[in-house]
Each structure stands twice: as structure tokens, then as C-alpha cells.
Structure 1
């Protein structure tokens, strides 16, 4: 059974290990190195940071990043969900995503967005079953190891926040 709890600073070593595994796939992020915790912490919202525990181990994590410092985007956040390599395919990502969605709405976030590499079929499926819709493609938006990579844009609008 999976248990979701708030991410704690002392989780960083395990969270960073999972992040590194995602980086090593070449399909999860443009990052090529795991940042220092203080840099990661600054780049993510203080709320909506979670770890998934499976048999007592941190099996995955999820967090939100602001998309802009402009106040009009205060309810819009970018999603990060990472699952440790030995825990993929067990439904942990779906459990984490569902929790992240519920908690984000409690924090008045009305739009969640993600940029996904076309090769990351697991993430695409996760977003689609979690109510995200494909809204477009940014072609050759960035280089990873010298190769141009497209980014597929997915968005989920809350049905309870920002509907007025």
C-alpha cells in the first residue's frame, strides 16, 4: 500500500536519488545534474511537496513550481512527479498525482501544467488518466546533450477553483 505524506527537508537525499534516476533516463527533464537542495527548494512552491512511501521507502515524489512571479499566474503551477526506477508501473505515480491535484486545489491553484518529452510515454499516460489535456507542442524548445528536444504541453484546469 502507498502512503503519501508531506516532503520533509531530511527526505532530500532519497528524493535527489530518484530525481537523478529520472535525469538518467534522458526522457524526464532538461536538467543534467541534481541541484543542491537549497536551489531546488527555492525553485518550488513551499506547499504541495509530497513523497510516496511504499513499504516504508520513499518510492517517488511530487512537487509544484510557480510558472511566473506575476500575480495573475498565482494559481498556475508546473507539475513534477518522479518515481524511483524499481517502483515504476505500480500505480504510485497515479496515487501521487491524484493527491497533488486535491491538495493544489485546497491551495487555490486552478491550473496545473506540464511539459513532457514525447519519449516519456509513462508520464503522458499518467497525465491523460489524471485529467490533463494535450494543448500543444513546443518544437525544439531546448537542447539535451546537444540534441534538440520537443516538449508536449499538458494542462489540467480545476473544476472547483477559478471557475467563477
Structure 2
């Protein structure tokens, strides 16, 4: 895909569309189950900017800020919000099923916790993104599809 994405004869809009259709699905494979920490988020944002810089043939030694690169590409950062949206739809699907996946996703399995700092759960990352307050509020909101969709739409609009 390098020859297509870096071809100056193809418009930037078409190249961006090719990136979204062919590269991003490979990058986001299985993202519904990821827990995105600050470090992971930074790496994903850096990857997104790397793709744009390669498409525009901007060298990494060129002193261009990410904002100017985004302006040249006529776009904004969308990767994290796409991933969060996919996670939210997957999460609501799992919560409505009320099977074993529900228990695993919420972390409400019986047994002892392991030593050390506990890993962040998917639900904790989603409640922060949706600004739902508590995780129980998010779980209850999944039962009402209309309310859940508006929560997701509001979070995507805020761009966090």
C-alpha cells in the first residue's frame, strides 16, 4: 500500500480513504477487548501521525508540528475515538447478553485478586470516556439502547 498512500498524483482525500479502508482495520483488529492506558493511547496517536506523515512525505527530521500535519491532511485525530466507539458498542452487546462474557468483562468473578496493582478493566476505561460517573451507571445505561447511543454520541462529539 506504500505506493498508493505516498502517490502525489492521488488526492489526499482518496489516500486517507484508502488508509481508513485497508490499514486501520488491521491496526484496530481486536480493539474491542483492549484496555487503553495513557501509554497505549500515546502510541496509537503516534502511529496515526506516522501514517499521515508518510502519506504526505514529511520527513521525521522536518520541524513540523502535529497540528500542521493535520491541517495539511485536512483531518483531525480520529483513531482513539473510533476505537472507543467500537469498544462501547461491544461492551453494550456483552452487557445485554448476561452470560459468562458479562461476568468476565465487568470483573465480577469469584476468587482472590492477585498481588500488586490490579489491572485496569475495560469498564473503567469506558466510564471515564463516557463520563458516566460510576461503572454501575454505565452498565444500567446499556439496557436502554437509546440512552446508550446518546451517551456514545456525546462522548464522540467531545473528542476525548
Same topology, TM > 0.5? no
Q: Give the number of the structure whose residues are more often strand, by fraction.
A: 1
The TM-score normalised by the length of structure 2 is: 0.28
Greater RCO (CA < 8 Å, at least 6 residues apart): 2
The TM-score normalised by the length of structure 1 is: 0.27
Q: Give the number of the structure whose residues are more often helix, by fraction.
A: 2
